[in-house]
Amino acid sequence: MENAKIDVGSELPRAEDIIAQLERILASESFNLPDRAKRFLRYVVTETVEGRSHYLKAYTIATTVFGRRNFDAQSDPAVRIEAGRIRRGLEHYYLISGPGEPVIITIPKGGYVPAFEWGMETRATPIMEEAAPAPIIPVETLPEISVKLPVSDTFWSAPRLLTAGLSLFFAAVILAVVVQSFFHETANPDFGDGRATIAVETFSYPSDDEKLQSIAQGTTAELVANLVKFNEVLVIAAADQSDGQQPFDARYRLEGTLRNHEDKFRSGVRLVRQSDRAVIWATSYDMDLTIQTALEAESEVAEKIATAVARPFGVIFSSDGSVSTGWEAYECALAYYNYRRAMTAPALATAQGCLISLGQSNPKDATSMALLSLTQIDQVRFAEKLGSPAPTEVLAKAAELAQRAAMIDPQNARVLQALMLSYFFNNNVDAALDAGAAAYALNPNDTEVAGEYGLRLAFSGRWETGCELVSKAVNDGGGPTGYYEVGMALCAFMRGDLQAAELWSRMSDLSYNPMHRVVLVTILGASGKTSQARHELDWLQAHAPSLMQNIGSQVKGRLARPIDQEKIFSGLRAAGAEISVSPSLNQSN
């Protein structure tokens, strides 16, 4: 991109320079956000430039940008979520564009008023300190893969035993979590081979400040404790290499700094790829000890950092595509999460091929086995999007993989997530919820665990509890873009807030799964917007005809309670859809 030549003699950018930068951002392919988010950004920037920033509250944005009436900012997080999406979009834009951008536009956390700085005067800030990430590993079309795994009589007796004793099993898991809340041990000493490895440095601080020293040590310890709960990464505490591994052996180094003014503290953190010292992510968090204790502040900051770095679809699994020999488990995890973003048959084949090969070389890698189980389930729940019917016995294969992974490592949140979904799609809802509860107890900061468990709770009729977890997943940036938003749409629909339901539905990625568009049709039908609903129905008839032919049984397979099913049927009928119900395999979002 060719940057404009502007006068940087003034202390702050001029209005015309800010507007020019805004237009560059909105026109850039690297700022790939929905039109609603772009309208949001244009509105807050324009209002600020024209001197009306004091009006930028959640209510005015909801009414002006979203067209909402009777908006309650306390109970509806839609504006906060959209603002978070824009913040991530701006961060991505400046990462891709590099340090030559003339004006930096940010929306500081805690409000909606944007800030403007000259680019060349802010090179030391986190956003300018980051280097552009290497491209995601290319998704190549592989020959069709048929997963053939040995099934023994001994093994198939195990699921029956596990199901029979499920309550005891998960009670033991949760008890172990309480006892070992700061540790994670695996059944196989070679389990960490090939995973993304992170060396966590003790946060630096002015040497003469004892208070900062205590907070630095506490934050670092909390950070390690939170990171080790994510099974796709291996953590090395740089201050203690008693296992023989050294910080320079790690693929990444997590570095932090602390500084303060009176009782307000700022922690700056960045993730560095050690092979070339590229900064692939950086940000800062504030702590105010006038409103929370030091222990609370340390825990909160550590959770935010760990979630941002190690969560599925987070920094580790989106920023680095330069994986080489020796990081096979990491490569396969990247392939899996890249497939989940792309949701195409070739990407699925790539992920499955990598995971199958890894399973052959390391048959005790429980996490990769769980990811392979999830790809099997996806062939059922995303069959319309992937373009082919699910292979025969695919759910049996998914269940086998999940059960085998649970035998290897029963205290692995990703394994329990796979176990939860395999039970759910085999119509054993109670066992699925037990597995989900155990997974969430192990790592509540895992956005995929929180989101998927929340959906299962909601679809089983526990809407209030389930929707809280789905909201948490959305707030923490969980899932592929626009994935959990459809869950928020259903949550709003079931509580009767059709306006919020439509907003959330349109914020979701309607192209990710045809069922997302079915949700929108339901909401539009219930809202009396029949012409818009008909337009969406025409799209579904053209692009997912088999789904609409069996929509009744599809809905019954997703929602456990007849009362919830009927709410969906009512909206679809109002939209003009014909409903027929026949027995169907349990499928879900």
Give pLDDT tens digits for 505-544: 999 989 899 999 999 999 999 999 999 999 999 999 998 8
Q: Which residue(s) pair with 341 in the sheet?
A: none
What is the rounded distance in angstroms from the CA atom of residue 312 to the CA atom of residue 418? 14
- Which band of pLDDT confidence, cut at 50, 70 and 90, is reported for residue 496? very high
- Which band of pLDDT confidence, cut at 50, 70 and 90, is reported for residue 283? very high
Average confidence (pLDDT) over 344-355:
93
32 pLDDT above the threshold of 90? no
Please, what is the angle between helix 562-575 and helix 530-543, to 10°?
Answer: 100
Do residues 200 and 305 both lie within one domain? yes
487, 458 Cβ separation under 8 angstroms:
yes
Q: Could you tell me which of 338, 335, 377 has the C-alpha nearest to residue 352?
A: 335
Residue 349: how many CA atoms within 13 Å on its side-chain side? Answer: 14
- Which band of pLDDT confidence, cut at 50, 70 and 90, is reported for residue 48? very high
- Which band of pLDDT confidence, cut at 50, 70 and 90, is reported for residue 193? low
Q: Which two tokens stand for residue 181?
A: 């809340």
Domain membership of residue 64 (yes or no) is yes
pTM listed for this prediction: 0.69
Strands 264-273 vs 278-288: parallel, antiparallel or unpaired: antiparallel
CATH number, residue 199: 3.40.50.10070
Which run of H or of E encompasses 134?
none
Average confidence (pLDDT) over 539-561:
88
At residue 269, φ and ψ (nearest 5 deg) are -140, 145
What is the rounded distance in angstroms from the CA atom of residue 510 to the CA atom of residue 568? 17
pLDDT reported for residue 171: 46
Give per-residue pLDDT as tens, 105-147.
999 888 899 999 887 544 344 333 333 333 322 323 323 333 3
Domain count within the chain? 2
- Which band of pLDDT confidence, cut at 50, 70 and 90, is reported for residue 581? low
Of the ranges 70-74, 180-184, 353-357, 394-398, which one carries the lowest mean pLDDT score?
A: 180-184
Query: What is the DSSP annotation of 512-580?
Result: T-HHHHHHHHHHHHHTT-HHHHHHHHHHHHHH-HHHHHTHHHHHHHH-SSHHHHHHHHHHHHHHT----
- Which band of pLDDT confidence, cut at 50, 70 and 90, is reported for residue 276? confident
Which run of H or of E encompasses 307?
helix 294-310
Domain membership of residue 393 (yes or no) is no
What is the rounded distance in angstroms from the CA atom of residue 279 to the CA atom of residue 127? 10
Average confidence (pLDDT) over 7-16:
69
Average confidence (pLDDT) over 357-380:
93
Domain membership of residue 60 (yes or no) is yes
The larger pLDDT score, comparing residue 303 to residue 143, is at 303
Domain membership of residue 7 (yes or no) is no
Give per-residue pLDDT as tens, 369-422.
999 999 999 998 898 888 888 787 899 999 999 999 999 999 999 999 999 999
Whole-angstrom CA distances from 43 to 50, 180, 295, 371, 563 are: 11, 49, 39, 41, 41
DSSP secondary structure letter of residue 204: B
pLDDT reported for residue 320: 57
Letter for the amino acid at 559? Answer: L
239 pLDDT above the threshold of 60? no
The sheet carrying 278-288 orders its strands as 233-237, 196-200, 252-261, 264-273, 278-288
Letter for the amino acid at 71? Answer: F
Q: Could you tell me which of 89, 75, 40 has the C-alpha nearest to residue 488?
A: 75
Do residues 111 and 201 both lie within one domain? no
Task: Produce one character per residue of 191-225: b if its CB has 16 or more CB atoms within 10 Å, e if not.
Answer: bbbbbbbbbbbbbebeeeeeebbebbebbbbbbbb
Please work out, in degrees rounded to the nearest 5, the angle formed at the alpha carbon of residue 164 by the alpha carbons of 158 and 166.
90
pLDDT reported for residue 326: 60
Q: Is the dihedral of CA 372, 377, 380, 386 positive or negative?
A: negative
Do residues 121 and 216 both lie within one domain? no
pLDDT reported for residue 549: 86
Domain membership of residue 528 (yes or no) is no
Domain membership of residue 88 (yes or no) is yes
Whole-angstrom CA distances from 423 to 184, 258, 377, 382 are: 25, 46, 10, 17
The larger pLDDT score, comparing residue 200 to residue 241, is at 200
pLDDT reported for residue 33: 83
pLDDT reported for residue 194: 83
pLDDT reported for residue 182: 36
149 pLDDT above the threshold of 90? no
C-alpha dihedral, 110 to 116 to 119 to 125, nearest 10°: -20
190 pLDDT above the threshold of 50? no
Letter for the amino acid at 504? Answer: W
Boundary of a domain, candidates 289, 310, 331: 310
pLDDT reported for residue 36: 85
Do residues 119 and 203 both lie within one domain? no
Average confidence (pLDDT) over 557-568:
92
Average confidence (pLDDT) over 559-575:
94
Average confidence (pLDDT) over 296-301:
90
Average pLDDT, the chain: 81
Q: Which residue(s) pair with 129 in the sheet?
A: none
Do residues 114 and 214 both lie within one domain? no
Do residues 121 and 226 both lie within one domain? no
Helices (H) and strands (E) in the chain, counts: 25, 7
Whole-angstrom CA distances from 159 to 152, 188, 343, 403 are: 12, 22, 30, 7
Q: Which residue(s) pair with 118 in the sheet?
A: 103
Boundary of a domain, candidates 310, 327, 347: 310
Domain membership of residue 223 (yes or no) is yes
What is the rounded distance in angstroms from the CA atom of residue 376 to the CA atom of residue 516? 20
Q: Which two tokens stand for residue 83?
A: 């603002």
What is the rounded distance in angstroms from the CA atom of residue 215 to the CA atom of residue 221? 10
Average confidence (pLDDT) over 290-318:
90
Domain membership of residue 461 (yes or no) is no
Q: Which two tokens stand for residue 588?
A: 């879900």
- CA–chain centroid gap for 122, Å, is 29
Boundary of a domain, candidates 94, 129, 164: 129
Give per-residue pLDDT as tens, 75-111.
778 888 888 889 888 877 876 665 678 899 999 888 8
pLDDT reported for residue 450: 94
Q: Where are the alpha helices (DSSP H) in 98-208?
A: 126-129, 153-164, 166-179
Average confidence (pLDDT) over 350-364:
92
pLDDT over 70 for what percent of the chain? 80
Do residues 206 and 125 both lie within one domain? no
Do residues 110 and 212 both lie within one domain? no
339, 136 Cβ separation under 8 angstroms:
no
Of the ranges 57-66, 241-250, 326-335, 400-409, which one carries the lowest mean pLDDT score?
A: 241-250
pLDDT reported for residue 84: 84
Do residues 115 and 205 both lie within one domain? no
What is the rounded distance in angstroms from the CA atom of residue 427 to the CA atom of residue 586? 6
Residue span of the structural domain in which 249 resides = 195-310
